[in-house]
A = this chain, B = another copy of it.
């Protein structure tokens, strides 16, 4: 690894009280016998620097153990190479996979990112954006559909943002996701086609995306002449255990409920465990459908029918869209629908 050589005071006299000992672009320039500007160019736009100079600069960088100071670069260029990323929750596997997609795209593009957790609250999101502004992010990846005035107001400029998970209303706003409404609708259609007659809906964590899934589910039931009001919704955060609680509750309220759509796979898993505990056969006495296709859905006993969502891709494509925008490239489509898939398994 690059070892920082102790710089002899003859080549680099310590300035009065400010010496950091850090190897700078000036040190590299001196070693390579070019100007600091040429070193800067060799690092940012190598094509524009003569091969010979580039070689000397590379050698000097290696010899001195130079690495760039991002703060200086940010200050001088007003570009931080940092993206602010705000997701609703970090304890939900769904968003973690989205972060993986974001990281994979941003890493190869040379960007870092700051991660914030909004707890599904717009106010918290606004506050985090505000905090992040000190770090002068070049852009934001957000999870809410709402607009943030602060993005327009800050730094005299509009900071570009891409919204993830749901699709923006206007085609100008950049967004990457899929139709939550259609996904909920598809689950309703599936359960009806399988012959279930009293499908219910279980949910926790009242966030806008969940409400859209519910809306689609209800629409599917209503259209087919079924009762859309068999449901239990809780505002508290989702846990596996809550799936068990919700199942108990819906059976108390609707003893003849014969199928449930859980708004995520954690609830579905808890509901399945509760059925096992009570000796309720799945799917013959109770069908269970989940959402997201987390790792256990496919290998549970019985395996769980669920909606496969493009979580990783949402992060990857959203990051890509943002960077294209930052580079001033033309955006073919600002609103990217990645779709979803229904994985039909044993539980329905």
A:168-200 near B, CB below 8 Å: none
A156-B80 CB under 8 A given contacts A1-B149, A71-B74 = no
Is the beta-carbon distance between A241 and B74 smaller than 8 angstroms?
Answer: no
Determine how close the nearest CB of chain B comes to the CB of A95; give it in whole angstroms: 9
Return chain B residues, CB-CB under 8 Å to A149. 1, 3
A:97-117 near B, CB below 8 Å: 97, 99-100, 103, 112-115, 117
Contact with B along A66-98 (1 / 0, CB 8 A): 011111101100101000000000110100110
Determine how close the nearest CB of chain B comes to the CB of A72; give it in whole angstroms: 5
Is the beta-carbon distance between B240 and A299 smaller than 8 angstroms?
Answer: yes
Return chain B residues, CB-CB under 8 Å to A91. 93, 96-97, 100
CA distance A113 to B2 in the complex (A): 24
A273-B295 CB under 8 A given contacts A65-B153, A97-B91, A153-B4 = no
Return chain B residues, CB-CB under 8 Å to A244. 299
CA distance A269 to B269 in the complex (A): 11
Copy tally for this chain in the complex stands at 2
Who on chain B is nearest to A156 by CB?
B21
Return chain B residues, CB-CB under 8 Å to A134. 67-70
Return chain B residues, CB-CB under 8 Å to A97. 91
A241-B298 CB under 8 A given contacts A67-B130, A67-B134, A96-B90 = yes
Is the beta-carbon distance between A295 and B277 smaller than 8 angstroms?
Answer: no
Is the beta-carbon distance between B112 and A240 smaller than 8 angstroms?
Answer: no
Is the beta-carbon distance between A67 and B133 smaller than 8 angstroms?
Answer: yes
A266 at the interface (CB under 8 A from B): yes
Return chain B residues, CB-CB under 8 Å to A74. 71
Is the beta-carbon distance between B21 and A153 smaller than 8 angstroms?
Answer: no
